[in-house]
């Protein structure tokens, strides 16, 4: 006998805030009469952890998967298999009431401004300017700005925006810091015109970002890298820490 069990929430986007009730219905479909020993509903918040290769023997670092899950179980007789159905939903923290004041950042990239560069003497000459409209960002609004290639002795192959999530956790024995690329978009391809403003526009991915969080034992932060790839395969990277919030 074919039996299906399903959880249907009233909210199509499955997004809830703390303090709100998660409501919906349990749908049971069967063509014949069905006996069972009760239907239970449970909710579980889960953060998957794995041992970090950077901190073996010290402690476990965060893994990418964070879920809140609604689970429905229907107990049946010994001759029939129990039915289980999971439904994942999203919990948003309460928006902050304070108004976010944009903090624009101007940047200039030349061979002399690059850090940790041991090949500065062999790098081609270039001058790249630009700005980010804000580094303290509302998570539901895009990151915007512009970049301008003033001049470059070597043709440019690509200009990219790389969004990175940085998870740090630890205790008295030490701390581990894991950086994960969660989004990479190309904003220019080929040898762009010099002096032409190129818009920066990045939407924060909903399932891989959250408001910036910092506690005693762990923190979740975000950074964006402006990456310029030259035709001779040199990578030019400028890093900007971001603070994300929800309003």
Q: Give the residue, 99 or 182, on which the prediction is more confident.
A: 182
Please tell me the predicted confidence (pLDDT) of residue 98: 67
> How far is Cα 56 from Cα 53, in angstroms, rounded to an integer?
6
My answer on whether 34 and 143 are in the same domain is no
- Provide the pLDDT confidence category of residue 54 given band limits of 50, 70 and 90: low
**pLDDT digits 0-9 by tens, 117-145:** 666 667 788 899 999 999 999 998 999 99
* pLDDT at res. 67: 66
Please report, for the domain that includes residue 148, its CATH number: 2.60.40.640
CA 219 to chain CA mean position, Å: 14
Residues 181, 152 within the same domain: yes
Least confident of 103-107, 153-157, 176-180: 176-180
Question: CB 237: neighbour CB atoms within 10 A?
Answer: 15
Judgement on whether residues 138 and 21 belong to the same structural domain of the protein = no
Domain final residue pick, 68, 92, 116 = 92
Kindly state whether residues 140 and 219 are assigned to the same domain.
yes
Highest mean pLDDT among 66-80, 153-167, 232-246: 153-167
In this structure, the number of other CB atoms found within 10 A of the CB of residue 193 comes to 11
The pLDDT value recorded for residue 235 is 86
- Asked if 128 and 114 touch (Cβ cutoff 8 Å), the reply is no
- For residues 144 and 221, state if they share a domain: yes
Q: Are residues 129 and 237 in the same domain?
A: yes
Range of the domain at 55: 4-92
Name the least confident of 17-26, 51-60, 92-101, 141-150. 51-60
Same structural domain, 112 and 78:
no
Q: Mark whether 28 and 61 lie in a shared domain.
A: yes
| pLDDT band at residue 58 using 50, 70 and 90 as cut-offs | very low
SS (HEC) of the chain? CCEEEEEEECCCCCEEECCCCCCEEEEEEECCCCCCCCEEEEEEEEEEEECCCCCCCCCCEEEEEEEEEEEEEECCCCCCCCEEEEEEEEEECCCCCCCCCCCCEEEEECCCCCCCCCCHHHCCCEEEEEEECCCEEECCCCEEEEEEEEEECCCEEEEEEEEEEEEEEEECCEEEEEEEEEEEEEEEECCCCCCCEEEEEECCCCCCCCCCEECCCEEEEEEEEEEEEECCCCEEEEEEEEEEECC
For residues 229-236, give the mean pLDDT: 84
pLDDT for res 77: 76
- Residue 88 and residue 165 in one domain: no
Residues 56 and 157 in one domain: no
190 falls within a domain:
yes
What's the number of domains the chain is made of? Answer: 2
Q: In this predicted model, what pLDDT tens digit does every residue of 12-29 receive, in sequence order?
A: 888 888 788 888 988 888
Is residue 13 situated within a structural domain?
yes
Domain assignment present for 98: no
Residue 64 pLDDT: 46
Domain boundary among 47, 67, 92: 92
Instruction: Return mean pLDDT, the chain.
Output: 82
User: What is the band of 59 on the pLDDT scale with cuts at 50, 70, 90?
Assistant: very low
């Amino acid at each position: 006998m074919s039996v299906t069990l399903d959880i249907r929430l009233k909210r199509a986007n499955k997004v809830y805030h703390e303090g709100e009730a998660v409501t919906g219905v349990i749908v049971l479909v069967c063509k014949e009469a069905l006996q069972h020993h009760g239907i239970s509903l449970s909710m579980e918040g889960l953060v998957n952890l794995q041992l970090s290769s950077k901190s073996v023997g010290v402690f476990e670092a965060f893994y990418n998967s964070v879920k809140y899950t609604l689970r429905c179980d229907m107990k049946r007789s010994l001759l029939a298999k129990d039915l289980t159905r999971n439904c994942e939903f999203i919990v948003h923290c309460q928006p902050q009431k304070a108004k976010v004041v944009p903090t624009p950042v101007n940047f200039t990239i030349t061979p002399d401004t690059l850090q940790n560069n041991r090949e500065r003497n062999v790098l081609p000459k270039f001058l790249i300017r630009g700005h980010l409209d804000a580094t303290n960002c509302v998570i539901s609004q895009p990151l915007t700005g512009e970049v301008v290639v003033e001049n470059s002795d070597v043709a440019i192959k690509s200009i990219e925006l790389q969004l990175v999530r940085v998870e740090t956790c630890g205790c008295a024995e030490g701390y581990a810091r894991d950086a994960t690329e969660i989004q990479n978009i190309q904003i220019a391809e080929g040898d762009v015109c010099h002096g032409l403003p190129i818009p920066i526009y990045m939407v924060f991915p909903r399932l891989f970002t959250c408001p910036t969080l910092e506690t005693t034992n762990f923190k979740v932060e975000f950074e964006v890298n402006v990456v310029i790839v030259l035709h001779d395969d040199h990578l030019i990277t400028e890093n900007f820490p971001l603070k994300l919030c929800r309003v």
